[in-house]
Amino acid sequence: MVQPLFRGVLPALITPFRDGQVDEDAFVRLVERQIAGGVHGLVPVGTTGETATLSHDEHRRVVELCIKTAAGRVPVVAGAGSNSTSEAIELVRHAKSVGADAALVVTPYYNRPSQEGLYAHYAAINEAVQLPVLVYNVPARTSVDISNDTLARLSKLPNIVGIKDATGDMARASGQRIACGEGWVMLSGNDDSALGYIAHGGHGCISVTANVAPEQVSAFYNDALSGQWAGALTGQDRLIRLHKALFLDASPSPTKFALAHLGLCQEDARLPIVRASEACRTEVVAAMRDAGVI
């Protein structure tokens, strides 16, 4: 069996802010905490990293800082998506130039390309940069859904190696695995349904919850991927309340609150994301207790 390039839990890292600027010291501490917690990779400047409100210079700096801090201990998959193909290519080029192991490229949002347009977008990136690329499919955010047929075509390109699937559609996962073949990386984009996704042949998750509970989430994936299903189910039950709580308000505000509660960073986000509501905070703290974080 061909082993996937990436597996296990890869946290979708938050980008901490202080006084309106990226808090680089806090970011380094968060990366070190993730690695110490046993995660299998790192994903800077994805949706959870508030890439939509980072400047291009900030985006590049966070990627560089993540790679420098990781220092080869775990792979780094750099967020590099855009609804402009040329801009996405530039971000993927930068990721490659600073030593990222792969790029995570979201389907183009707002302009809603056709399936042929989606194929052409990723094919252009494949041709322009020799770096592994994971397709990020999240229709709830982008208003476009890349089909398994299109992914099967893309899987034949040398640099398009897999997907972050945030559709929550388990049946699609099985169909995609068959269509795209061995070696196609399949990572869930949803913490709460990742157990089912792995059962359908997935290889892990790009996780929000790992920001808060890296040890617990890593243990869950180690159990699930080694076929220790009783342990995985226990881990799922311990974490499910936290998975839900971190999305009671617009992400990543609940996650930033949780990390601030642990004293790891400020809870500041950038508008239009605001701080978590009081009701959300109460539930996040309770869920952290259930998960064994506090």
Active site residues: 136, 164
CA 90 to CA 30: how far, in whole Å?
A: 27
Q: In what order do the strands lie in the sheet with 102-106?
A: 8-11, 204-207, 185-188, 160-165, 133-137, 102-106, 77-79
Judged by DSSP in three states, 103 sits in strand
Using the structure block, give the residue that is written with the tokens 């893309």.
154
Q: Are 141 and 51 in contact (CB under 8 A)?
A: no
Whole-number Å distance between alpha carbons of 200 and 194: 10
What is the C-alpha to C-alpha distance for residues 46 and 53, in angstroms, rounded to an integer?
11
Cβ neighbour number for residue 293 with a 10 Å cutoff:
20
What is the SS3 assignment for 190-215?
A: CCCCHHHHHHCCCCEEEECHHHCCHH
Count, residues in the chain: 294
E strands present in 69-227: 77-79, 102-106, 133-137, 160-165, 185-188, 204-207
Where b means 16+ CB within 10 Å and e means fewer, 153-176 reads: bbbeeebbbbbbbbbbbeebbbeb
Nearest-angstrom CA–CA distance, 203 and 187? 6
Cβ pair 213, 245 in contact under 8 A: no
